[in-house]
Every structure is written in C-alpha cells, then in structure tokens.
C-alpha cells in the first residue's frame, strides 16, 4: 500500500464527464474523504484501464467511483478486474439522456456487481456519499461526520416544511 494513496479513486471515460463527476468529489471533500480523479476509458485507453484496475487495491484504494456516458462499459470492466467495490455513475448522454449509460452500467452479469447510482449529477453526488458510508464502516471519525451531514440535511429540509 502506498501511504499517499487516497481511499477513493474517481475514474471517468472522458474529461467531458467531469462537470458531472465533480459532484462526487465535492461530497467527498465535504465529508473529509481524500480522492484522486483520472480519465480512463475502456474503449479509448484499454491498457490504461487494465493497469489501473489490476493495481488499484494493492496501491491502497478502497472504493472506485466510475462514471461514463453512452456505451458506458467503464464501470463494469473496472469491476471485472478488481474486487474493490465499484460505484457506477451513468453520465447523462445527449442522444438518449443517460438511459443508455444507466442500462449499460446496471445490467451486470451475476458475480460481478457494480453498485449503480442515478443518472447525472444527483447520482454522482450520491456516489460520493455512498463511498464515504463504505469507508465509515471502519472509520469512526468519518461515521460521526456522516451522521452530522445527515442531521444537517434533515434540519435544512425541516426548515422548509410547514406543519
């Protein structure tokens, strides 16, 4: 394990996915979880994906968030080469509004799961929270920060709801 490896790797098929995937990074920042982001494509840079996925665990990553749009094979291919949990974010495509991305990610064959989030920014933000929840299982300080985050969220909703 490399001491400087953050627990979360955020990978995405293209730089054009970053406006969506940065929502995951923002949630992780908010919860005090370190992350590293890189562009890796199963289609365009298969060797780079192989190198990443087959070494991710040994490097010290704990969770992989993988976002891709259209024929979104990246999360599933990453999951096929690592036993780290992979959280898949369907990036909204122009032609089919992300339904293609969603179906490409969610329909994994039995035995190789990808935890699939909602399409677009909400899914990316939830991927950040879910990654933190996984890490919090073995990090009590992070678990407390998550509880505070959830309580603040409840309070802010409560303020907008009239009895």
What residues between 26 and 55 interact with ligand C2R by CB under 6 A?
41-44
| Closest distance to ligand C2R from the beta carbon of 59 (Å) | 20
Stretches 30-38, 64-72, 121-129, 141-149: which one binds ligand C2R (CB under 6 A)?
64-72
The reply on whether position 99 binds ligand C2R by CB under 6 A is no
User: Which of 7, 70, 88, 128 touches ligand C2R by CB under 6 A?
Assistant: 70
Q: Is the dihedral of CA 22, 112, 99, 45 positive or negative?
A: positive
The reply on whether position 72 binds ligand C2R by CB under 6 A is yes
Q: How far apart are CA 46 and CA 24, in angstroms?
A: 24
The reply on whether position 71 binds ligand C2R by CB under 6 A is yes
| Closest distance to ligand C2R from the beta carbon of 152 (Å) | 32
The reply on whether position 91 binds ligand C2R by CB under 6 A is yes
**How many residues interact with ligand C2R (rule CB under 6 A)?**
17
Query: Of the two residues 36 and 139, which places its CB atom closer to ligand C2R in the complex?
Result: 36
Q: How far apart are CA 16 and CA 147, in angstroms?
A: 33
**Residue 16 annotated in ligand binding:** no
């Amino acid at each position: 394990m490399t001491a400087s490896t953050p627990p979360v790797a955020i990978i995405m098929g293209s730089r054009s996915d970053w406006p969506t995937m940065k929502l995951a990074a923002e949630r992780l920042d908010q919860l005090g979880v370190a992350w590293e982001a890189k562009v890796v494509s199963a289609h365009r840079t298969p060797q780079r994906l192989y190198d990443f996925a087959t070494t991710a665990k040994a490097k010290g990553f704990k969770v992989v968030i993988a976002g891709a749009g259209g024929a979104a094979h990246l999360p599933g291919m990453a999951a096929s080469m690592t036993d780290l949990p992979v959280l898949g974010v369907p990036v909204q495509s122009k032609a089919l509004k992300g339904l293609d991305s969603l179906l490409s990610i969610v329909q994994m064959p039995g035995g190789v799961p990808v935890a699939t989030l909602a399409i677009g920014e909400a899914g990316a933000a939830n991927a950040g929270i879910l990654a933190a929840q996984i890490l919090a299982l073995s990090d009590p300080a992070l678990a407390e920060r998550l509880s505070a985050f959830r309580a603040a969220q409840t309070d802010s909703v409560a303020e907008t709801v009239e009895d």
